[in-house]
Structure 1
């Protein structure tokens, strides 16, 4: 099943990175807002790491970045 959605998780991670940078946050800054380790944000954003995340986490990231969660789910 890993291969079925790996590209989607990669795109989500790239979008997290994009919107994080757009808001002027570092990975450390976003991690602090979410009360998670910086490495967790790094794993989500890394295009070469398969890091599934929950909807709960996705919603928390969207809230921290002040964007609607659906923006992470438009896939190219």
Structure 2
């Protein structure tokens, strides 16, 4: 069964990983800033995994990475 917006969620996860690395953060460091488990960040970023996240979580990640939220939602690049 194909999940709704599966590819978009995967792209968001890859972008989170990209901007996290750009900031020099490990998954552990980002998880610490957000108050979540490191494994949760790993699940979000995993290219082959479907892990939907809430808008609130995405906004918190964008804030923690000092990155405008729209950068995670641009599916043209």
Q: TM-score, normalised by structure 2?
A: 0.94
The aligned counterpart of 2:8 is 8
Q: Report the Cα offset of residue 2 of structure 1.
A: 4.5
1:5 to 1:31, Cα distance in 2 relative to 1, 3 A? same
1:3 Cα deviation from its structure 2 partner: 3.2
Tell me the residue number matched to 1:24: 24
Unaligned runs of 5+ in 2: none
The count of residues paired between Structure 1 and Structure 2 equals 76
What residue number does 2:33 align with?
Answer: 33
Answer 1 or 2: which has greater helix percent.
1
Q: Which residue of 1 is the match for residue 70 of structure 2?
A: 70
Cα distance between partner residues in 2 of 1:59 and 1:44: 14
State the 4+ residue runs in structure 1 displaced beyond 3 angstroms: 1-4
- Cα distance in 2, alignment partners of residues 2 and 21 from structure 1: 30
Superposed CA offset, 1:16-70 (max 9, x none): 0000000000000000000000000000000111100000000000000001101
| Alpha-carbon RMSD | 1.2
